[in-house]
Amino acid sequence: MVTTVKSLTATSASEQYWAARALTAETLLSARLAHQSEMAQAIETAEEKRAREVYAIQQYHDERHTRLERLIVLLLTCLITFAAVVLYLLARSQNHTHSTRWSMPSHFTIPILSPFASVVEHETSVVNVKLLTICVICFSVLTYAAFRYWLTHARLR
């Protein structure tokens, strides 16, 4: 069924009213579509910018994480080397038991006290193995605590 339009001009008042409403609706629809396309473009641009920023932050975080891993490896290497040296010195000092002039106590007389009083001298160091071991353990615990504190507060910044 084919319909032909006799006239495109509105002749009655109701036709003019509905024609004005249709024109207004088409105008509002085209404005709404234009606004939606502009908003979609703005949202897409903002999402691209956000994706670039997130990628840059991720790269910075990965680089920093790599540096921290290297620092941890370096600190662990130093700690293991230090512990090995202390254990080596400890084992070496315990195995070194052959008698020398210095390992035997020497007796000498102090003439001021009495000609018959003798003093037995044992040459021992104030810094012995126990003190060194305690110092190493305290230093290790302190280093670990400082490192944990540094890492915890570095994340909060």
Q: For residue range 118-144, list pLDDT tens digits in order.
A: 555 555 666 777 778 888 889 988 988
Locate tokens 């080397």: which residue? 81
Average pLDDT of the chain?
80
Higher pLDDT among residues 96 and 45, named by residue: 45
Residues 6 or more apart whose CB falls under 8 angstroms from that of 83 comprise 136
According to DSSP, residue 120 is labeled: E
Give the pTM.
0.43
Tokens of 24: 């207004």
Chain center to CA of 46: 29
> Which of the given ranges, 37-41, 93-97, 153-157, has the highest pLDDT on average?
37-41
Tokens of 50: 């956000």
According to DSSP, residue 113 is labeled: T
